[in-house]
């Protein structure tokens, strides 16, 4: 159970964070920090400062104000605690302090905890690169009338993402007023609207003479930020010392492996086949003419001009396969293993060199599951087992590689 201290616990976001954590089974709020500790009734103790907090914790989540950073960072450094900083409006000096602290502890720092907003930033980067100088870019952000900073940290996050993708070519124009407001080259216009209870809306427009592309994100309620912070917490707890953001979290999600399971597969092994290109070509041509697709072709090292040749097919035409093998060479021997499951695992990293593969194979051994044919090339692994082990193997794959 991960023990969490919420900084800014009695604020609107602090309360949502506590509510979101209470709905989980792997985290617990052990304390809160707030300038007004008695403002609300909580299921955990709330202190007016970290210095007064007597609870032990594994993680700090900060939904307070930039002015609290001077107390939060030293506490996190002293206790070697990972910290999630989910507040905007920091100065350049404060951002430098955060980066320096990240040399000693894991820190997750982002201008917006929404997963959707960060996907929006990725789309805006791609759009800026696609349009280049053809499009003029404007950002319009809308928030409730209580928001103190403008433009929003998210608007700057979007602008910075596009600027980074375009090698820093843009400068920012915050609103327009006066009699000489003609748009300048390489400009991103940023405009702030404040009113009512708008949770957050960010619209990025790519304007050309012929068309307008608009990429918009709208937050229905503030809990989306608490859910994002929870994802960030689980991510950060697994990371070494360093500074992280939603960019790294989203990238880590892409490292997940994809799994495809095909039933009713078969492995055909031709024993002591002639070790010649002509034989292999003749056999494959016969298969192709009969509409049979052989996959995962594997051969042994040659010995005295002979080799063992294995390949997989999806069962259903096995009798035809047998006839073609028998016709391909006189007195050939072969074996067909029917009723198998074929598993294809594809990831973004080389599976063969990962600790996850070692764990996967060890679990198969403990469960007495044999692999009948295995191929690992780069980031793809294909293997076969008896069909009776399908559910068992799928569960082990989900735990270790997927």
> For residue 138, which of 88, 220, 200, 212 has the smallest C-alpha distance?
212
Query: Between the ranges 62-71, 114-123, 250-259, 298-307, where is the mean pLDDT highest?
Result: 62-71
Please give the pLDDT value at position 401. 67
Please give the pLDDT value at position 40. 94
Of residues 150 and 358, more confidence is placed in: 150
165-189 tens-digit pLDDT: 999 999 999 998 888 889 999 999 9
- The answer to whether the peptide bond before residue 161 is cis (omega within 30 degrees of 0) is no
DSSP string covering 322-374: HHHHHHHSTT-EEEEEEEEEEEEEE-SS-GGGSHHHHHHHHHHHHTT---SEE
Average the pLDDT over 184-196 and give the result: 95
Please give the pLDDT value at position 164. 92
When mean pLDDT is compared across 196-200, 231-235, 247-251, 284-288, the lowest value belongs to: 247-251
- 258-400 matches 115-218 in CATH topology: no
Report how far residue 236's alpha carbon sits from residue 88's, in angstroms, rounded to the nearest whole number: 19
Q: Does position 353 have pLDDT exceeding 60, yes or no?
A: no
CATH number of 2-113+224-254: 3.40.50.720
When mean pLDDT is compared across 127-141, 176-190, 241-255, 274-288, the lowest value belongs to: 241-255
Q: Which of 179-191 are b and which e, b meaning 16 or more Cβ less than 10 Å from the residue's Cβ?
A: eeeeeeeeebbbb
Angle at 327 between CA 323 and CA 332, to 5 degrees: 95
> For residue 247, which of 73, 106, 108 has the smallest C-alpha distance?
108
Residue ranges covered by each domain of the chain: 2-113+224-254, 115-218, 258-400
Of residues 212 and 255, more confidence is placed in: 212
234-240: long-range contacts, CB 8 A cutoff, minimum separation 24: 234/26, 235/108, 236/59, 236/82, 236/84, 236/106, 236/107, 236/108, 237/2, 237/58, 237/59, 237/82, 239/82, 239/106, 240/106
Q: Indicate which residues carry an active-site annotation.
A: 143, 147
Average the pLDDT over 247-260 and give the result: 72
- Second-level CATH architecture of 115-218: 2-Layer Sandwich (3.30)
> For residue 13, which of 227, 194, 245 has the smallest C-alpha distance?
227
Q: Look over the chain and give the mean of its residue pLDDT values, rounded to a whole number.
A: 88
Looking at CATH, the fold of the domain delimited by 258-400 is given as VC0802-like (3.30.2130)
Q: Does position 393 have pLDDT exceeding 60, yes or no?
A: yes
Of residues 308 and 317, more confidence is placed in: 308
């Amino acid at each position: 159970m991960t023990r969490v201290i919420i900084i800014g616990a009695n604020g609107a976001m602090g309360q949502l964070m506590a509510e979101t954590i209470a709905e989980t089974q792997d985290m617990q709020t052990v304390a809160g920090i707030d300038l007004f500790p008695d403002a609300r009734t909580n299921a955990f103790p709330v202190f007016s400062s970290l210095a007064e907090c007597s609870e032990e914790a594994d993680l700090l989540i900060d939904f307070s104000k930039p002015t609290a950073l001077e107390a939060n960072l030293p506490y996190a450094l002293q206790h070697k605690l990972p910290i999630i900083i989910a507040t905007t409006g920091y100065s350049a000096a404060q951002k430098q302090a955060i980066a320096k602290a990240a040399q000693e502890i894991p820190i997750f720092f982002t201008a917006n905890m929404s997963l959707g907003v960060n996907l929006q930033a990725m789309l805006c980067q791609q759009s800026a690169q696609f349009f280049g100088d053809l499009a003029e870019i404007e950002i319009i952000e809308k928030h409730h009338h209580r928001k103190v900073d403008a433009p929003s940290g998210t608007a700057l996050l979007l602008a910075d993402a596009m600027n980074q993708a375009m090698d820093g070519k843009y400068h920012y124009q915050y609103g327009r007023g006066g009699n000489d407001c003609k748009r300048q080259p390489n400009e991103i216009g940023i405009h702030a609207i404040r009113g009512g209870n708008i949770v957050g809306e960010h619209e990025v427009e790519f304007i050309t003479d012929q068309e307008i592309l608009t990429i918009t994100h709208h937050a229905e309620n503030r809990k989306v930020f608490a859910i994002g912070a929870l994802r960030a917490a689980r991510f950060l707890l697994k990371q070494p010392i360093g500074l992280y953001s939603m960019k790294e979290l989203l990238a880590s999600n892409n490292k997940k492996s994809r799994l495809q399971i095909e039933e009713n597969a078969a492995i055909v092994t031709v024993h002591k086949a002639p070790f010649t290109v002509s034989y292999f070509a003749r056999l494959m041509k016969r298969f192709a003419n009969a509409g049979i697709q052989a996959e995962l072709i594997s051969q042994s090292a040659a010995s005295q001009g002979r080799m063992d040749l294995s390949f997989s097919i999806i069962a259903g035409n096995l009798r035809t396969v047998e006839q073609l093998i028998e016709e391909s060479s006189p007195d050939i021997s072969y074996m067909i293993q029917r009723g198998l499951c074929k598993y294809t695992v594809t990831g973004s990293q080389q599976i063969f060199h990962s600790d996850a593969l070692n764990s996967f194979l060890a679990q198969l051994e403990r469960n007495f599951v044999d692999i009948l044919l295995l191929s690992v090339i780069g980031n793809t692994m294909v293997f076969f087992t008896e069909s009776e082990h399908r559910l068992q193997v799928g569960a082990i794959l989900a735990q270790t590689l997927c």
